[in-house]
């Protein structure tokens, strides 16, 4: 595999092109990782009272619906955004996952899961007292994702 960088001052925005003989699993994985890297550099506009903030995705531990807004949780704060949960699900990097109809979380921040066979299982986060829940229907997919991440 060759890696080459070409500069072009006429470009309005940077563009990354992957040229390949055929679309292999390795090529698809490379594309996915590059997209994930770009997403981790991005920010999410949120608000806390009268102040607007721009959170980097790695700062976010989970997001949950709160009425007609989405609450965005970091380890120490709660912010809100008007974007819908399904819109955010498309924007977030690979390490985020929906775990219930109302919650998306950052898989890399999970410290423990208290399994509940009859209902939702409680999730605790690293270096944080906040908790959320994974519904039974998402539990297996979450465990699979955690073992792959």
Tokens representing 21?
A: 């003989």
pLDDT (0 to 100) of residue 63: 98
Tokens representing 142?
A: 């979450």
pLDDT (0 to 100) of residue 149: 62
pLDDT (0 to 100) of residue 41: 63
Q: Which of 127, 123, 128, 130 is nearest to 146 (CA)?
A: 123
pLDDT (0 to 100) of residue 118: 86
* Triad 63, 135, 33: Cα angle to 5°: 55
Domain limits of the chain? 45-148
* The CATH number of domain 45-148 is 2.40.50.1020: yes
pLDDT (0 to 100) of residue 40: 60
Mean pLDDT per 10-residue section of the chain, whose length is 149 residues: 83 83 86 74 88 94 94 97 93 91 96 91 95 95 87
pLDDT (0 to 100) of residue 51: 95
pLDDT (0 to 100) of residue 34: 81
First vs last C-alpha separation in the chain: 25
Alpha helices by DSSP H, listed for the chain, are 25-41, 85-91, 136-148
pLDDT (0 to 100) of residue 1: 76
């Amino acid at each position: 595999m060759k890696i080459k960088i070409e500069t072009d001052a006429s470009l309005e925005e940077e563009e990354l092109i992957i040229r390949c003989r055929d679309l292999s699993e390795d090529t698809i994985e490379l594309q996915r990782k590059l997209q994930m890297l770009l997403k981790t550099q991005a920010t999410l506009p949120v608000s806390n009272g009268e102040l607007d903030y721009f959170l980097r995705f790695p700062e976010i531990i989970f997001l949950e619906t709160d009425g007609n807004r989405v609450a965005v949780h970091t380890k120490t704060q709660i912010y809100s955004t008007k974007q819908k949960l399904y819109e955010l699900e498309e924007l977030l990097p690979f390490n985020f996952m929906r775990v219930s109809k109302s919650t998306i979380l950052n898989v890399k921040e999970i410290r423990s899961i208290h399994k509940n066979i009859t209902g939702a299982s409680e999730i605790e986060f690293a270096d944080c007292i906040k908790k959320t829940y994974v519904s039974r229907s998402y539990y297996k997919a979450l465990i699979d994702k955690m073992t792959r991440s």
